[in-house]
Structure formats: structure tokens, C-alpha cells
Amino acid sequence: MNAVGIDVSKGKSMVAILRPGGSIVSKPFVVRHLSGELQSFIQQIKSLEDETRIVMEHTGRYYEPIARELSEAGLFVSAINPKLICDFQDEDNPLRKVKSDKADAVKIARYALDRWQKLKQYGSMDEIRNQLKTMNRQFAFYMKHKTAMKNNLIGILDLTYPGVNAYFDSPAREDGSQKWVDFSTTYWHVNCVCKMSLNAFVEHYRKWCSRMKYNFSRSKAEEIYGTAKELVPVLPKDETTKLIIKQAIDQLNTASQTVERLRSLMNETAAKLPEYPVVMAMKGVGSSLGPQLMAEIGDVTRFTHKAAITAFAGVDPGVNQSGDYEQKSVHASKRGSPTLRKTLFQVMDVLIKTKPQNDPVYLFMDKKRAQGKPYYVYMTAGANKFLRIYYGRVKEYLSSLPQ
């Protein structure tokens, strides 16, 4: 058998080919991520005798072009978490640490030989998961951008119409629009309301609600008018102030539209994965958090047991034991994915707010909370239990599907 280790970098890769016993088939050489060189490399691999397996680290996005080309050529390709390669002990040289592209390629090839039977083949489903994960990272980026734009707009409106952002609590629509932002577009200054009589404003507000397709309430209109009469603006009602506010609103609306489009696209992409119905049926998970979970967890079959997936998320309880001493309460490891931990905490927050009485995760957290456990303790414990249930249900469902 031939083990091909590929140390991937941007635009090129270092390749080493080994056989059992450390026999070198080919000394490390460079393959650039160009069509011609990749085709020559594929022909070289196919010319080797016996079975060949290719292993590379899934480092950033750099590995995807070469992984896809090799996979589509019918070769066995496996993309491995870099942490596993890093922790792999090089028995041929356990003391001397060498860090170079050539040494890394050889180490990856030795890892392939050592884990030969456990290697998982890269396939089209991995592309969907990678695509979903990329969208989730973009979603997180634009959410931060949206929050910054929202705070910026509120800060400006506090100088022209203080507290207008608290008038409505309607969630964002599918197109990203929000009622308080649309209201601020028309009534961007206190004097936009105060210059009218009460009846004139109520009628103007009614027509605005009808045009924007929002629910109208006369009592709400009267409340807005009464509050506006008491407010004192800082900036004047002129074209310069209006331009500043309009620009801030446009920036927020653009970010909101992007977020909602990504949210919808993530749900459509996640629906292509086999575990989608199982994940969406879990309490605390909806059309937004479900795809985020699936994006960050990935393929559960790569985890050998439940403790592996909790360790991946960093919500596994730490251990501090020596001799007769054993610490009873140890902080969670937090060595895994911070993005996954954030998503898990959002799911736990939904469970705390909705209080589903038939959900084992909520009942477990409620029990810990009743015992006086601190917030982060019962939230982390709930995330741990949720992940274990997730692992069990998804893996059982996947095993029941035809291969």
C-alpha cells in the first residue's frame, strides 16, 4: 500500500509518498495547484502499484481545490483535522522536532499508514458541509457588522429622536426590514411628529402602516405622539442631519438584508444533508440555529464516541487528579470550537426561555439551576448533554439509512 501525505499551503502543496516500514516511494516534491500539474500528479499516483490513499490537512480553504480534483479523479482522499496530525507522535524521531514542509508531508504520510483502516474518504457531502460552514462564518461576520450598524444608528437617533428604537419589538422580516428602522426612515426627527396635530399624526401613521404593511394601533400612535412631545432633540431638523441618518439606515438595511439572505440560504443548504430532519426536530433548534449547529459540528460519524464530540466543542468537564487528590469541580476544557460553543449557548438560551417540560436537556438544566449552580455551570452542562443526545440521535438515524 502507498500512503501519500500532502502538506497544503496557498497555491501549492508538498507531497511525500511512503510505504509500510518507512520505505520511501518518492522524496518530497512540490505540486502547484494548477490544472496541468494536478493532472500530472494524478497520473503519477495512478501509476503506483497496490492500493493508494491520500491524506491532507483541512487547513483553511487551501486544501479544497486539490482535494476536489483528486477525489473526482477516483482517488481515495482523506482530509484530516490538523490537530490530529499535530498530536501524532513520530516514532522514528520522537525527540528531535523538525518543522518544515518536507517534514510535515512525511509526517502526514506516516499518519496515513498508522491510521490506514480508520481513514474516511472525502466526498461530495463534505463539499456541502464545507459550503455550509463557510456560509455560517459569513453569517457571523455580517451579524457583527449588523450589530455595529444598529448601534451606530441608535447613537445618531439619540440626537434627533431619543428612544425611537424601543417603540417596536417586531422581529426582522424575511427581507431584513425592521419596523423601528422603517419608522425612523420616515420620522427621523422628533419634529417630524410634533409639527403635526394629534389627529393628523394618527392618520399619517395609519397610512404609513398600510403602505409598509404593518399593523396599525391608534393607542400606539397616541403613545408615540405623547412621548415625542416630551423629547428634546440635540441636532437640528435640516438636510445635513437627514443625510447622516439616511446613510446610517441604508448601511443597516444592507447588512440586515445580507444576514437574512444568508439565513435562508443556510437553511436550504442544510436541508440537503441527511441528518437535517433529526436536528430540526430537537427542542431549542430552529431554522436559524439548526443549520448553524450542523455547519459547526459537521459529520458526526467522524467522532468515535460521545465524549469526542463534547471535547470537540470544548464543553467537556476538565480533570485534575493526582494520587489521592481529585478536584471535584473543574472548568470546562474550552479547547474546541468557540463558534460551536456560542451556538450551543444560544440553543440553551432558547430552552431556558421556552421551558419545554418534555425536553430532557431543559429538565437537566432546570435541576442544576434549582441546586444553585452558577449560570455558566448549568449552561455548559446543558450543552454537554445536548451534544450527547445530538450525537446519539443523528448517528442512529444515519446508520438506519441505506449506504
Contact of 128 with 272, CB cutoff 8 Å: yes
Closest alpha carbon to 282 in 271, 273, 295, 293: 293
- pLDDT tier at 95, thresholds 50, 70, 90: very low
Cell of residue 174, nine digits:
424575511
Q: What are phi and psi of 189, to 5 degrees?
A: -135, 150
Predicted confidence at residue 197, as pLDDT, reads 94
**Euclidean distance between CA atoms 208 and 206, whole angstroms:** 5
Contact of 280 with 290, CB cutoff 8 Å: yes
87 has pLDDT over 60: yes
Average pLDDT of the chain is 87
The crossing angle, in degrees rounded to 10, of helices 338-354 and 124-157 is 70
Q: Bridge-partner residues for 4, per DSSP?
A: 17, 54
pLDDT 10s digits, 220-262: 999 999 999 999 999 999 999 999 999 999 999 999 999 999 9
C-alpha distances in Å from residue 67, one per residue of 86, 135, 376: 20, 20, 40
145 has pLDDT over 80: yes
- pLDDT tier at 19, thresholds 50, 70, 90: confident
Residue type, 362: Y
319 has pLDDT over 80: no
Alpha carbon of residue 245 to chain centroid: 32
- Spell out the CATH class of 2-122: alpha beta
Other beta carbons within 10 Å of 191: 16
- pLDDT tier at 352, thresholds 50, 70, 90: very high
pLDDT 10s digits, 57-76: 877 677 878 888 888 888 88
Predicted confidence at residue 149, as pLDDT, reads 96
Closest alpha carbon to 380 in 321, 318, 328: 318
Contact of 246 with 122, CB cutoff 8 Å: no
**Euclidean distance between CA atoms 230 and 308, whole angstroms:** 59
Lowest-confidence segment of 113-117, 308-312, 323-327 by average pLDDT: 323-327
Residue type, 280: M
Contact of 278 with 397, CB cutoff 8 Å: yes
User: 151 versus 27: which is more confidently predicted?
Assistant: 151
Q: What is the pTM of this model?
A: 0.73
Q: What residues does each domain of the chain span? A: 2-122, 137-266, 276-400
Contact of 54 with 6, CB cutoff 8 Å: yes
User: 24 versus 289: which is more confidently predicted?
Assistant: 289
Residues 6+ apart with CB under 8 A from 327: 320, 321
Most confidently modeled range among 67-81, 119-133, 284-298, 316-330: 284-298
User: 225 versus 98: which is more confidently predicted?
Assistant: 225
